[in-house]
Structure 1
């Protein structure tokens, strides 16, 4: 849960481990979730907290001394707020019983919690505390304290808290962390989100518990099988299990970090991708896998209304969909051959501490839950890094199955070493603005999306992960390092401008080189394929490919296609088809240039000769580009015509 809280604040430019952060808590230090959470930073200023018995108020706490006192209460068996040393509480604070008739409101309390009354009944005070302007509302308690203004208290079904409950739009805490379950209704979370609040959902923030037991079960099964085979004693097994605690904790926190990061990436583009989410929900509904009403997801009418107001789905709604899309993909993978592919099954190792994976690789492959674990790991990895709608989008545009999409994704991930670059971006936490990190990740996602699509379309039924990674990875790596030498003209200038901007913003140079060139890195795939076809060295082919692109201004043309606004699914499919055509055309022209019988040896000169021989077609293409430049507004029909012209040029080389 704390990982979620850290992310919300980091994205608002606050480091909860370094900056003073005001908190109101629901629960007490004896509670596991509540207590642990409030001991994860000694910079917290806990200004108020309450449980079923007491209300604790400390309007202007000293972060360091109160941290030590919270630690003492946490270590004290069955402690309550009454055990807190009242001499440490700041002026105007105190510990009050919830059974009191009324509570006098000090000037300090009035100032801190924005209360005007001089005295309040305990429930009135709690109601005011829930609406107070603080940084964080940390819920580790039992009960539902926030609903939406459209719900009645009866809808909530937690009578005990009717008198203190507030509406999502009334919350003034910047962030809500849900360590406990059901602290807010789902509609309450959505209303809070639409009013600018930051929260996920309880099942995202406290996913750690379930995740932890999953890891433990998988590890125990593995070790029991090793013990049964006589390769380890029961005593050794128990010792090893005890040593694994921290490593398992690391895996669990890593999963939580990745999942909340995926929600941030989804939230950034929630408005522009609304159409994709609609289609995903419709697909899940028609397959009988999702009931929107049950999950409090908005209807299409509500979504259209949000779109008109420039809004998309909120984080709590995306939290529901990320869970559904992972479950759906996992089920598809289980029914496929993916978990049986030796290369793809290596994914299994990511579910175990590295030490175990190194030591017991062989027995791991015989694990009786192997297929389930492989499917789960691939589904989590894909959705966390490529987005909630990725599989649905590619299934629609390529006609391939979810399992095909996942298999192609793993190839792309390993060919471009995406996890390596992704980790480098994560390592910039608190060193560069969070928004820049999300932007860099967005670039990697786009590369991943386009490259996965390329594999699905160009190798329709012959994907072989081990073979494709072995063939493409070393060639991509060799060319990627020299990308800036291979690019020329406007493409190189653009790359350079982006590279310099990233470096100035604090991005390490090696990472900046890669991320500045994601749109060109993707073209290394057709370049390598053209090299396979012509038998020429990849760098020769790359030089020809980029020279053709420069001479015919194809980079500019691709940018125009990419920036076409999409208003419906047909336009989205058309835009992808235009991009596919352009890939094919540029590759075809490149191959034709390389296979010219009587061309000069110099690549640039060859391109000039090739174009000269087709002067009429080239002039038509240049005229077309001129018209596109002069056009006001975007029209898909113009691009259909332009693509036709380019196709004529590409096919002229195949006579």
Structure 2
């Protein structure tokens, strides 16, 4: 018998459980490892995290699944998130020993999930053995990489093969035969679509005009590194990671771009590898272990400060407050909170000494390639002060969108391999050949969603009553908790209207996601998605080369209903606006299928 216990729970039946309540929860327990996996619906996906929060890891995962739910509005599955903690770390504490223990615990966690998940065999549901089952058939379980598990996808897929799980290596996206997000730069490229729009609306072209940036991360990282190579007009004033602080008060855009490119290609690089001869006068690379860092006159000028020396934490805070064009988050941690929030509210003790309030931000725009760098309350406050910001779940949706395309394509191709209509090597070659096409599909979604926010923002004051009606109805139907999403009450909206204000972009970002989620769910329940007139919606989710080679397989995809509904919902909300479906349904009484 296994040395662990797996339990599947129905959170809606548990009194006093913290909100939001996921649809499904799996709890895996052993003396060596504990973990939870939370899903917002029967078809849901999200990453598995190696958490270091042993006392409150479920709280951490619950917060992440809440963010994942709105992020996933652009893709087929609802939000999901999992996390595990290592309870008996090795005593010697070496990096290799810790990794080995982490892998072993990850394997136990994956086994715990698969042990109580239904399988499919030629379309027939096969319940797991040695399990007492009270729930309905539930076969869709997919996972992804997250903090601490970035290289674990092949491990998960090996276990899926051992269990003969129907998804094969579509179980964990991003493995050796999947799309490498860092090589594609897809998360950063998707976020850059938001950045370009922020600047375009301020009269700046990020690809031709120079602009100043402060960044969170380093060139060895996926999102920071790829992001800081998306324009050779970036003047990177400063950046920091967990080891170093980089300051370049007056950078040469072209020369610094070439040096960042060199560091990105250098395996395991850090800011300490930056050629200091290329750093302008008064700048440098400083260790975060220093007791005090001298602040040059050039640094004082560019950062807008008077201090002649600062602790590393205070210098990082000064960078976050710098009067630059953009703050680019490509790291891990929460660095900006609202004035009304405490550090305890944020729940990221590691960065308490660095964190600033949103009213201290002097940048013009926020680019959120990383997750949770800014609290939602801070985004709203920054936006109300005139800053340009969306939300992390809008900006960095490219990563999860790319993974969803990979899973859907693999489901199709794996079936062809199973039926011996193509070999596995042929499948792998085709996957690689479609990389650019998949990237184009993902970036199109990022572009259109950022555009939808701009279209919604422009008349946001005039249409505040429409948003108010939408929020009120969603709340009445139990689909939205305004306080949980930091959306304004009717009274607060009225007060804003009286002062010429409306909803901010971060608030509209939440409503865009909820509008898409509601419409998607309504369409999935409607027979209209099987109508041949909507085949174009299904086809638009796949690379043209795949559609040309296997049109019948695309039409017979096991998730064709969900894929079609997702594409239609995205197009309708992006093109027609957040409240359009709500208004038409209210005026006509028609259902989602007829309106579509």
Give the shorter-chain TM-score range: 0.5 to 0.7
Q: How far does residue 402 in structure 1 lie from its aligned partner after superposition?
A: 2.3
Task: Tell whether 2:372 aligns with 1:182.
Answer: yes
Task: Tell whether 2:334 aligns with 1:144.
Answer: yes
Match of 1:388 among 559, 565, 578: 578
Matches within 5 A, 1:397-476: 397-406=587-596
Match of 1:351 among 534, 541, 552: 541
Partner of 1:191: 381
Partner of 1:243: 433
Match of 1:166 among 350, 356, 360: 356
Task: Tell whether 2:421 aligns with 1:231.
Answer: yes
Q: How far does residue 318 in structure 1 lie from its aligned partner after superposition?
A: 0.8
Distance 1:363 1:53 in 2: 50
- For each residue in 1:255-298, what CA deviation from the matched residue of structure 2 results, as whole angstroms up to 9, or x when unmatched? 00000000010010111111111111111111111111111111
Task: Tell whether 2:346 aligns with 1:156.
Answer: yes
Q: How far does residue 86 in structure 1 lie from its aligned partner after superposition?
A: 0.7
Task: Tell whether 2:251 aligns with 1:68.
Answer: no
Secondary structure at 2:482 match in 1: coil
Q: Which segments of 5 or more consecutive residues in structure 1 lack a partner in the other structure?
A: 407-655
Q: How far does residue 20 in structure 1 lie from its aligned partner after superposition?
A: 0.6
Distance 1:313 1:381 in 2: 22
Task: Tell whether 2:246 aligns with 1:56.
Answer: yes
Partner of 1:208: 398
TM-score, L = length of structure 1 = 0.61
- For each residue in 1:356-387, what CA deviation from the matched residue of structure 2 results, as whole angstroms up to 9, or x when unmatched? 22232222111111101000000011111111
- For each residue in 1:376-425, what CA deviation from the matched residue of structure 2 results, as whole angstroms up to 9, or x when unmatched? 0000111111111110011111121222212xxxxxxxxxxxxxxxxxxx
Secondary structure at 1:343 match in 2: helix
Q: Which segments of 5 or more consecutive residues in structure 2 lack a partner in the other structure?
A: 1-190
Secondary structure at 2:374 match in 1: coil
Partner of 1:35: 225
Q: How far does residue 236 in structure 1 lie from its aligned partner after superposition?
A: 2.0
Task: Tell whether 2:472 aligns with 1:286.
Answer: no
Distance 2:417 2:289 in 1: 57
- For each residue in 1:605-625, what CA deviation from the matched residue of structure 2 results, as whole angstroms up to 9, or x when unmatched? xxxxxxxxxxxxxxxxxxxxx
Distance 1:80 1:359 in 2: 44
- For each residue in 1:326-381, what CA deviation from the matched residue of structure 2 results, as whole angstroms up to 9, or x when unmatched? 01100000111111111113310000011222232222111111101000000011
Distance 2:468 2:535 in 1: 32
Partner of 2:293: 103
Secondary structure at 2:484 match in 1: coil
Distance 1:142 1:213 in 2: 20
Distance 1:208 1:124 in 2: 33
- For each residue in 1:439-465, what CA deviation from the matched residue of structure 2 results, as whole angstroms up to 9, or x when unmatched? xxxxxxxxxxxxxxxxxxxxxxxxxxx
Q: How far does residue 25 in structure 1 lie from its aligned partner after superposition?
A: 0.5
CA contact (8 A) 1:148 1:169 kept: yes
CA contact (8 A) 2:368 2:392 kept: yes
CA contact (8 A) 2:526 2:592 kept: no
Partner of 2:553: 363
- For each residue in 1:613-646, what CA deviation from the matched residue of structure 2 results, as whole angstroms up to 9, or x when unmatched? xxxxxxxxxxxxxxxxxxxxxxxxxxxxxxxxxx
Distance 1:98 1:132 in 2: 19
| Number of residue pairs aligned between Structure 1 and Structure 2 | 406
Partner of 1:454: none
Q: How far does residue 8 in structure 1 lie from its aligned partner after superposition?
A: 0.6
Q: How far does residue 215 in structure 1 lie from its aligned partner after superposition?
A: 0.6
Q: How far does residue 224 in structure 1 lie from its aligned partner after superposition?
A: 2.2
Partner of 2:457: 267
Secondary structure at 2:400 match in 1: helix
Task: Tell whether 2:567 aligns with 1:377.
Answer: yes
- For each residue in 1:12-48, what CA deviation from the matched residue of structure 2 results, as whole angstroms up to 9, or x when unmatched? 1111111111110011111111100001111101010
* Higher mean displacement: 154-163 or 257-266: 154-163
Distance 2:503 2:324 in 1: 25
CA contact (8 A) 1:338 1:345 kept: no
Higher share of residues assigned helix: 1
Distance 2:347 2:429 in 1: 46
Secondary structure at 1:46 match in 2: strand
CA contact (8 A) 1:102 1:120 kept: yes
Distance 1:290 1:171 in 2: 30
Distance 1:380 1:32 in 2: 27
Higher share of residues assigned strand: 2
Q: How far does residue 127 in structure 1 lie from its aligned partner after superposition?
A: 1.5
- For each residue in 1:468-507, what CA deviation from the matched residue of structure 2 results, as whole angstroms up to 9, or x when unmatched? xxxxxxxxxxxxxxxxxxxxxxxxxxxxxxxxxxxxxxxx
Give the number of the structure whose alpha-carbon radius of gyration is greater.
1
Secondary structure at 2:245 match in 1: strand
- For each residue in 1:92-118, what CA deviation from the matched residue of structure 2 results, as whole angstroms up to 9, or x when unmatched? 101111221211111111111111121
Q: How far does residue 166 in structure 1 lie from its aligned partner after superposition?
A: 1.5
